Amino acid sequence: MVSFMKDILPGAATIELWVANSHEPHLVSLTTGRHPAAPRLFTWDNDFAWSYGGNVTDSIREKVKRAGGNVTGKLRVSLSWFNHDDLDLHVYEPNGDHIWYQEKRNKLDVDMNAGGTLSREPVENVTWTDRVPDGEYRIEVNQYCRRDSSDVGFVIETESNGKIENYRHERAVGHNETVEVGRMTVAGGVITAFRPGKDMQPGSASKELWGITTEQFVPVSTIMYSPNYFDDSEVGNRHYFFMLKGCVNDQPTRGIYNEFLRSDLQPHRKVFEVLGDRTKCEPSADQLSGLGFSFTVRSSVIAKVTMTGGRRRLISIQF
């Protein structure tokens, strides 16, 4: 990405991105406040922030990392959801071993919303750090305690050999309900196949997302850093945003996240947690939305670039 911005972008007349279904977790919107004169809330010196689809600020991988989970193992399966429910991740290994909160087997290292402090950005994480058994794994999610009726659903993320895949479950999970996420085949420590359950949504067929059609090239209107890197700032993780023409987030979007807050506002995190949930940004016809990529997560996207002289290039951008 650094080379693309340095060597390609200055001479580009137009850029189009191939938007795959697998990029759905990368959908992002730029947000700002209604009143420009209001004091800033965030640790950087501007009034802008961002929100990924599902009202998250960063990748599942980064959320797991912040929660103390291991993201550097040979194989990882992570669960992310968006409310105060207590969802539990269950993984059955090929030999029949059952990994869950009662039998962590030195692999389940994050278990959130089980009790005590509740989060609206909870994760659970299972990581294999040494030997990864070959064979078929079964993955399930169980609703241990339903507490919420908003921001329902969950996302499962898998990672092996640097490749990250996401599988989304969009409807609410009932109390004590178990959802079959899918069956994962592993050979040589690498995921070679994943058969999702009937209520999971990966798929490669094109679909409509935020006003754009996936599995095709979409024109780029603007390329930018995330607001925490505007004007030579360097606060936290840098994200690269490709804002897409015609990309419109039609859902109310969270604009306040506790991890963005100034240090003097941190003691009031509980208040801002409620404010962030209840004072979302309403959709606007004049918005910047598109795909975002964190520099901390390995990913890639294909760009079709027309240079100012008319030459066309097809480029794989690596993050």
Q: Where in the chain is the domain with CATH 2.60.60?
A: 60-196
What's the token pair of residue 273?
Answer: 């947690």
Residue 6, pLDDT score: 96
CA pair distance 223, 192, nearest whole angstrom: 34
pLDDT in tens, 141-178: 999 999 988 888 998 999 998 788 888 898 999 999 99
Indicate the class that CATH gives domain 60-196.
mainly beta
Residue 281, pLDDT score: 92
Instruction: Name the region of 224 (left: φ>0; alpha: ψ -120 to 50; beta: rest).
Output: beta
pLDDT in tens, 259-279: 899 999 999 999 999 998 889
CA pair distance 190, 43, nearest whole angstrom: 39
Residue 238 or 60, more confident: 238
Q: Which of 292, 247, 222, 173 is nearest to 9 (CA)?
A: 222
Which residues, including other chains, have CB under 8 Å from residue 249's CB and lie 6 or more apart? 27, 29, 53, 210, 283, 287, 289
Q: Which amino acid, 255?
A: G
pTM above the 0.75 mark? no
Q: What is the pLDDT of the chain when averaged over all its residues?
A: 92
